[in-house]
Amino acid sequence: MFGSLLVTLIAVVSVLAAPVTELNRCANSVTPSEFIALESQFAIDYQLAIANATARVTGPIGLRRWTVHVAWHVIQESTTLTGGSISNDDISSSISALNQHYANTGFYFVLDGISTTTNSDWFRSVDAGNSQQTAMKKALHVGDARKLNVYSVGFKNIGLLGYSTFPWDYKGNPTDDGVVILYSSIPGGSTANYNQGKTLTHEVGHWLGLYHVFSDVGSCTDNDAVADTPIQSAKTRGCPSSQDSCPNSPGLDSIHNFMDYSDDRCMTEFTSGQAERMKAQVLTYRGIEGLPYIPTLTLPPGVTIPFPTLITKSVSTTSRWLIVPTFPITFHGL
C-alpha cells in the first residue's frame, strides 16, 4: 500500500512540475513576399477609395470619428464559466476596454448585439480555416465589411489566444470576416498575463489593417508599413524593461505596442502612424469613413474653458457645454 501511495505521489508531483505550455498570442502571419504584394495592391486601392469617398472632411482629425459596430458571438460548451459562458456585463466591459485602448486613434466601438451558442466542438476545436470555424461563421456571421464580428471560444485543443482576418480578405470570403479570441482573455478573465482584454485589442488591430510590429520571419526589414514603429525582428515575450532586436536600425523594439506579443500589462499604445494606417485601410476595404462629430463636455455652472482657439457656448440652462471650432469644416460629396 505504501509503495502504491508513493507512486501516486510521484505522479502528482510530476504533473504539477510539468512546464506550462506557452500560449500562442496570435495565429496571424505574413511572409515578405505576401507583404510586398499586399502593400503594392493597397497603394492602388487606396487611391481609388479616396476618389470614391462619399464624405471627406477638412479640418483637425480630432473632430472625426471612425465608428465600428460590433456583433459578439459567445461560443460555449456549457453554461459554466469554465465552459465559456460569459455575461453581457463581461462583454460590455470588453467593449469599454477596447475603447480605452483605441482612445487616441479616432476609432470608437459600439456593441450592437450578442448571440450565445452552445457547441462543444466549436468551443474546443475552432482554428483558422478549419471546418469547425467555417461552420461557426457560416451560421453566425452578420452584417457587411463594416461590422466587426467577435467570436469568443475555448481553443482547448490548440493553446491559442486569438486570430483575425485582414480588411483585404473580406471581398474574397465575406462570411469568414471577423475576430476569434480566447474567452478567458477578456478583462478579469482567468488566463494569467493575458486577462486585460488586450488580445481583443491586438486582433482588432489586424481587422483594421495592422500587421505585427515585428517580422514574422525574424528579419530586420520593414514589416508593418508604418514609419513610426522601429524595425523589429523578434516578438516580445513577457514585459522586459527594454529590447533591441535590430541594433543596427534606429530605435528600440515596440515592446509596449498593442501589435507586439508582450503580456497584457506591458501593452499600452498605438502610434500615430498606426492610427493613420487603420483609417486608410478601413476606408479602402471596409467602407468606413471618419465622420465629423462635435464633442461635448460637462462642466460645473459658471466654469469657462480658456482655450484661445475654441469658442465655448452654453446650449442650455444646465452645465452642458458645446465645443465649437473656429475653423470651417467642409463636407464634399454629401
pLDDT greater than 90 at residue 8: no
pLDDT at 23: 81
The pLDDT, as a whole number, for residue 294 is 54
pLDDT of residue 192: 94
CB-count exposure of residue 173 (10 Å: 0-12, 13-18, 19+): exposed
Residue 321, SS3?
strand
Collapse the DSSP code of 281 into the 3-class scheme (helix H, G, I; strand E, B; otherwise coil) and give the result. Answer: helix
Query: Across residues 111-125, what is the average pLDDT?
Result: 97
Q: Name the range with the highest mean pLDDT among 49-53, 126-130, 263-267.
A: 263-267
Q: Please report, rounded to a whole number, the percentage of residues in the chain having pLDDT higher than 70.
A: 78
Give the model confidence (pLDDT) of 173-188 as tens digits. 999 999 999 999 999 9
Least confident of 78-82, 145-149, 319-323: 319-323
Cα-Cα-Cα-Cα dihedral sign, residues 274, 280, 286, 292: positive
Grid cell for residue 179: 475576430
- CA-closest candidate to residue 66, choices 275, 295, 229, 313: 275
- Active-site annotation holds for 203: yes
pLDDT at 19: 35
Query: Catalytic one among 203, 269, 276, 289?
Result: 203
Q: What is the pLDDT of residue 289?
A: 87
Q: State the pLDDT at residue 290.
A: 84
Q: Please tell me the pTM assigned to this model.
A: 0.81
**Cβ within 8 Å of residue 67, ≥6 positions away:** 107, 108, 109, 110, 288, 291
As a whole number, the mean pLDDT across the chain is 83
Angle between helices 198-207 and 88-101 (to 10 degrees): 60
More confident residue, 5 or 182: 182
Q: What does the pLDDT look like over 69-107, one tens digit per residue?
A: 999 999 999 999 999 999 999 999 999 999 999 999 999
More confident site: 203 or 303: 203
pLDDT bucket at 299, cuts 50 / 70 / 90: low
Question: Please, what sign has the CA dihedral across residues 170, 36, 271, 253?
Answer: positive
Amino acid at 121: D
The residue among 218, 123, 211, 138 whose CA lies nearest residue 178 is 138
Most confident residue range from 12-16, 50-54, 268-272, 293-297: 268-272
What backbone torsions phi and psi does residue 199 show, to the nearest 5 degrees? -65, -45
Residues 239 and 263 sit within 8 Å (Cβ to Cβ): yes
Q: Which amino acid is at 163?
A: Y
- Angle in degrees, CA 317, 319, 325, rounded to 5: 100
Q: Is the pLDDT of residue 131 over 70?
A: yes
Is the Cβ–Cβ distance between 181 and 199 less than 8 Å? Answer: yes
pLDDT at 63: 57
pLDDT band of 320, cuts 50, 70, 90: very low
- pLDDT band at residue 302 under the 50/70/90 scheme: low
CA dihedral 246, 250, 253, 259 (to 10 degrees): -110
* Sequential DSSP letters for 69-91: EEEEEEEESSSSTTTT---HHHH
Edge-to-edge strands, sheet with 310-314: 296-298, 320-325, 310-314
Strand partners, 181: 152, 162
Pick the range with the lowest mean pLDDT from 100-114, 275-289, 315-329.
315-329
pLDDT tens track for 200-222: 999 999 999 999 999 989 999 88
Q: Alpha carbon of 183 to those of 43, 244, 301, 306: distances in Å?
A: 36, 32, 44, 46
